[in-house]
Structure formats: C-alpha cells, structure tokens
Amino acid sequence: MKNSKNSLLLVSSLFLIVGLFLVNTAAIAQEKSDDELKKEYTPILGEYAFESGGGTFTLKFYIENKALWADSGDGRPAAMKPVDDEMFAFTAEDPISGLFEIKFLKDDQGEYTRCHVVNQGMGMEIEGTKIK
C-alpha cells in the first residue's frame, strides 16, 4: 500500500512538472521582440499632451524590454497590458496612483492621434492629443 502511494505521488509530481514546463514554454513562445512590438504598435507610439488642472502634461508611449510602456516623466513608467478583444486598449498599474485604463482613438482621417485615460480611483478622465 505504501509503495503504491509513493508511485502515485511520483506520477502526480511528474505530471505537474511536465505541465508547468509546457505552460512556461508556451508563455516564452508568445513573447514578442521589441522590433515586433514596435511594428505592431507603431500607430500609437509617441508623446501625447493632456490638459489637466490648468496645466499641461505629457505621456510618452514606447517599447522597451519586450513591453509597451507609459511614462509621465515621474520616474515610474508603467507597463501596459492589452485589454482582450479591444484594439489599442490597455491597462497600466501604478503603485501609487492605481489602475489606469488607456485607449487610443482615431481622428477624422483614421489616424490614432488621441488618447483617452481613465483612473476611477483618482476621479480622472482625460483625453490627450498626439504631439510627436
């Protein structure tokens, strides 16, 4: 009886290890290079100007280390994660300011020149315009 329990435990552990290996391999295979991401996100990369509280600030969207980043210049760039089934819609988590919802919008000429940002925790909903 003890030997069959050990065998069952060994087989279960082996399946778990193989399963974890397959999951990690799939995740690595899905990872895109910086060049692939730049090509995919070319229409939205660049700087956008936002007016808020009587002033203007910019957000820069760029590719680095196999990720899309949003940087306001505060020293805490945030990695952006795509929202399923929405073209150029993302979330970004900041440890201080919380969750941001970011969506890029087309102008009348069909170009992505506007960026809509929402942070419900801060009561923020603003729209910026691409400047670079």
Instruction: Specify the CATH number for the domain of residue 106.
Output: 2.40.128.50
Give the residue numbers spanning the domain of 16. Answer: 1-30
Q: Greatest CA span in the chain, whole angstroms?
A: 76
More confident residue, 24 or 116: 116
18 lies in the same domain as 41? no
5 lies in the same domain as 24? yes
Q: Count of domains in the chain?
A: 2
66 lies in the same domain as 8? no
68 lies in the same domain as 39? yes
The chain-wide mean pLDDT, for the chain, equals 82
110 lies in the same domain as 49? yes
Amino acid (one-letter) located at 115: C
- Lowest mean per-residue pLDDT among 49-53, 107-111, 127-131: 49-53
Contacts by residues 47-51 (CB-CB < 8 Å, ≥ 24 positions apart): 47/130, 47/131, 47/132, 48/114, 48/115, 48/128, 48/129, 48/130, 48/131, 49/128, 49/129, 49/131, 50/115, 50/117, 50/126, 50/127, 50/128, 51/126
- Say how far residue 105 (Cα) sits from the centre of its chain: 17
85 lies in the same domain as 46? yes
- The whole-number pLDDT of residue 31 equals 86
46 lies in the same domain as 5? no
DSSP 35: H
- The whole-number pLDDT of residue 3 equals 52
13 lies in the same domain as 39? no
126 lies in the same domain as 64? yes
Among 46, 40, 66, smallest CA distance to 58 is for: 46
- Tens-digit pLDDT profile for residues 57-98: 999 999 999 999 999 999 999 999 999 989 999 999 999 999
24 lies in the same domain as 76? no
86 lies in the same domain as 111? yes
Where residue 30 falls among pLDDT bands split at 50, 70, 90? low
Amino acid (one-letter) located at 39: K
